[in-house]
Amino acid sequence: MKLETLALRIADKAEAPTLEEAILQGELPSSLDCMVWTGRKTREGLFPRMVRDADGRPLMEPIMQRAAPLIQFNGKVQYVNRLVFEKTHNTTLGRRKLRNLCGESLCVNPNHWMKQPLAEEEQPVEEAIEPPMDEEWTTEEAIELLEMYLTTNETLDREHALLIDIPPDLLEEALNQMGKGHLLDG
């Protein structure tokens, strides 16, 4: 997927139009408002995690996991807040964790996240950085992109930045499900 597509999708799903330009320019957005992700996210709730007691013995303890924003990019499901942070800070996070500053775990405004200080990273809190799974394209995702595309286009251009990454059979299935199969003839 092209960066243009990614920037457009993220700005749309965060309902923050200025984020598109910020991502493309590699600059922090000037807005200090929360940009709350409305797209796909991880499940929120209590999950058992292995921790160690004072004597270093492992035990299972429930840990509250907040919802995190997800997007499919370059064939992988990725955390949106981390992607936006990387693109607007011109950096690569690798295994470095981010700390949220605004209390909204679904916020993707890079001004509201900072790199976790290294000293704290060494503390034995297990936290997943990798999203739980890589997924194939879903029809829902294709429909989401098609709906965005069709707000400004009336005919089908498979080479358009929003559509070019969708597998052709999925694109057709999505259009049929939307009752817009006739666009395939155009």
Chain contacts with Zn ion (rule: CB under 5 A): 34, 102, 104, 107, 109, 112
Q: Could you give the residue ranges of the DSSP H alpha helices within the chain?
A: 3-13, 18-25, 80-89, 118-121, 139-150, 168-177
Q: Smallest distance from the beta carbon of 114 to Zn ion, in angstroms?
A: 12
66 near 44, Cβ under 8 Å? yes
Identify which of residues 85 and 171 has a Cβ nearer to Zn ion in the complex.
85
* Distance separating alpha carbons of residues 29 and 58, to the nearest angstrom: 43
Amino acid at 21: E
CB of 35 to Zn ion, least distance (A): 7
- Would you say 69 or 165 has its CB closer to Zn ion? 69
Residue 80 CB, nearest approach to Zn ion (Å) = 12
Instruction: Give the nearest distance from C-beta 8 to Zn ion in angstroms.
Output: 21
Q: Which is nearer to Zn ion, 31 or 177 (CB)?
A: 31
Please give the structure tokens belonging to residue 54.
């004072």
Nearer to Zn ion, 105 or 176 (CB): 105
- Written as six digits, the tokens of 19 are 């984020």
